Structure 1
Amino acid sequence: MNRVAMISTELDAEELDGIDPDDAEGSDELYEHHRIVVDRGQEQLRIDKFLHGRLRNTSRNKVQEAIRAQAVEVNGVPVKPNYRVKPQDTITITLPEPPREGKVVPEEMQLDIRYEDSELLIVNKPAGLVVHPAYGHWQGTLVNGLAYHLADLPTGRNGEIRPGLVHRIDKDTSGLLVIGKTEFAMTHLSLQFFHHTIQRSYLALVWGTPPSPTGTIRGNIGRSLRDRKVQAVYPNGEQGKPAVTHYEVLESFGPVTLIHCVLETGRTHQIRVHMQYLGHPLFSDVTYGGDRIRVGQNTGAYRDFVESAFQLMPRQALHARSLGFVHPTSGAQLFFEAELPEDFTALLEKWRAWATKSYP
């Protein structure tokens, strides 16, 4: 049995995807992906609950499946989901495929670069493109393309390519990203994000009409206690991190409304979860409930119209429209805008035509 040791205290849940509890034999070769030595002061918890607390973006059921598939061992012995971890237990997770190295493979890719100089570049990311490699998406990401485009730059620590990311946008969100090409630029830009001096605006199509033409949503955002794959708002600040979103209504189409959002903070899924909390999830947002009719009767011609609109744009209606920041070396104030992509433009035209016909 070939085992490659990878010590980790924070696990990536997606590594457990595809494990079949009815096929515990798996591959002839198993590779150790993670090794956890339980703290001396750890209370005795069921191992499925213990690992659920350590795994990112997973369910307790997924952990139990991995345990039943004998992918999880304690002190070298497979255990059941109800096993209670004890201080100094050694927990290992082994999988049929080897761990990925932390290096980025450069890939030639057509990048929509809107600006570039010696310190930074601005990329207009299309919807559907993953920003950073992760389990299940090791290739074909924006970072792979950037690594190829920036191949002549010095490599980072331990020979790993540093792609220059200082922020991200979701896979199915389109729009602008700024990339630092030097360590100094990355640090300078990161500090601007940290101090909330970066100007960022988004366009979003939401269900319903917000309570006022302009408004501000304040509420901590953190991982949901009911579903760790999504974020939730904690208005009393008992959990999560502070998040502030300003919005302005641009155009109403009856059941849906086009809004302009400005971010003070940059939490995961911030606009999507804040608008859901306000009662106006983004149109076609599968994760936060915008992929079904939220306003109007789910019958007849209207239902058919909305279903065709979902097909036209089968992703959340969100676009990172603009970026403004101070150039790291020149000190100049830079500002960039990206037009709406074709699917978003076609969706607005469809709703605008419907609204004109329905509200003459």
Structure 2
Amino acid sequence: MSDHVKPSGGIPVLFEDNHLLGITKPVNVPTQEDASGDPDLLTLLKQDLKERYNKPGNVYLGLVHRLDRPVGGAMIFAKTSKAASRLSETVRGRHFRKIYAAVVHGKLPAQQGTLKHTLLKDARTNTVTAVPKGTPGAKDAVLDYRVIGQTDRYSLVHIELHTGRSHQIRVQMKEAGCPLFGDQKYGAGVNKPGQQIALWSAIAAFPHPVTKEEITLRSLPPREFPWAEWPSSVYEEAFKG
């Protein structure tokens, strides 16, 4: 289930059946409608399903997880409300694997490890801060990381999320002293305006909500800077699914 099947209105399809639609999210497209008014992924995919299957009326497509606007990669949507409900339970029960590729500035304190922080979101500014444990409204954030490539300036990191907090990887990497390449919000001091954030949803894996078969969506980052600092074989080996 790892390779692009066909374009869905220009968006690559990774998996599709009667219950699910798995795609590669393009960078800089909001997952759902936001204040910008820019075309959003949910609306684009609904329109494509309506046209491809010649459906009258409204098309159902359920959002079960999100990617930040500047982030691209593997993403799953539910085509029925039953599938959406079951997938949401899978996410809540932490049976939904989310693995990312990231390029960060500098070198992490160890080649692999676990990062644990308590994060607090300010909805007014849409920013997230690491705060002391016990801070009202804050939530625990946990991820595992493994460095899979290095240059003099950057590290290529395999990241598996164990919690799904807003901006989690971006904030936790910053707290580790290694902000993401291109992250204007949490790495403004080391990044230049206009750079694309180097964070990519490489693998999304979960039991199918109806058949219970293990579904693995895989999407590798584009072959452009800074991703192209490492050969394709590094990604193929690290993100097998």
Matches of 2:54 and 2:116 in 1, distance apart? Answer: 41
Residue 47 (structure 2) aligned to one of 132, 148, 163: 148
Match of 1:280 in 2: 178
Which of 131, 134, 138 is 1:237 aligned to? 134
Give the Å deviation of 1:153: 9.5
Match of 1:122 among 5, 22, 30: 22
**Per the alignment, in what secondary structure is the counterpart of residue 243 of structure 1?**
strand
Give, as a single letter, the amino acid of the residue that structure 1 aligns with 2:92. Answer: F
Q: TM-score, normalised by structure 1?
A: 0.57
Distance 1:244 1:160 in 2: 38
Q: Tell me how far 1:182 sits from its aligned partner.
A: 0.5
Give 1 or 2: higher strand fraction: 2
SS at match of 1:222: strand
Matched with 2:217 is: 336
Compute the displacement of 1:149 (Å). Answer: 2.5
- The TM-score normalised by the length of structure 2 is 0.83
| Identical columns (%) | 28
Tell me the secondary structure at the aligned position of residue 130 of structure 1: coil
Q: Which residue of 2 aligns with 1:222?
A: 120
User: Does the 8 A contact of 2:198 with 2:227 survive in 1?
Assistant: no
Matches within 5 A, 1:139-288: 139-151=38-50, 162-224=60-122, 228-239=125-136, 240-288=138-186
- Matched residue of 1:266: which SS? coil
Which residue identity lines up with residue 216 of structure 2 in the other structure?
F
**Displacement over 3 Å in runs of 4+:** 152-155, 159-162, 348-352
SS at match of 1:124: strand
Shift of 1:284: 1.2
Structure 1: gaps spanning 5 or more residues: 1-107, 294-306, 353-360
Secondary structure at the aligned position of 1:271 is classed as helix
Distance (whole Å) between structure 1 residues aligned to residue 14 and residue 230 of structure 2:
29
Cα deviation for residue 160 of structure 1 reads: 6.5
* Cα deviations by residue, 1:291-346 (Å, 9 ceiling, x for unpaired): 626xxxxxxxxxxxxx7xx87xx121100000110001111111121121233xx3
Which secondary structure does the structure 2 equivalent of 1:219 belong to?
Answer: strand
- How far off is 1:351 after superposition? 7.7
Partners of 1:242 and 1:187 in 2: CA distance: 24
Which of 216, 221, 226 is the aligned partner of 1:347?
A: 226
Q: Over alpha carbons, which structure has the higher Rg?
A: 1
Q: How much does 1:348 deviate?
A: 3.4
Q: Which amino acid is the alignment partner of residue 348 of structure 1?
A: W
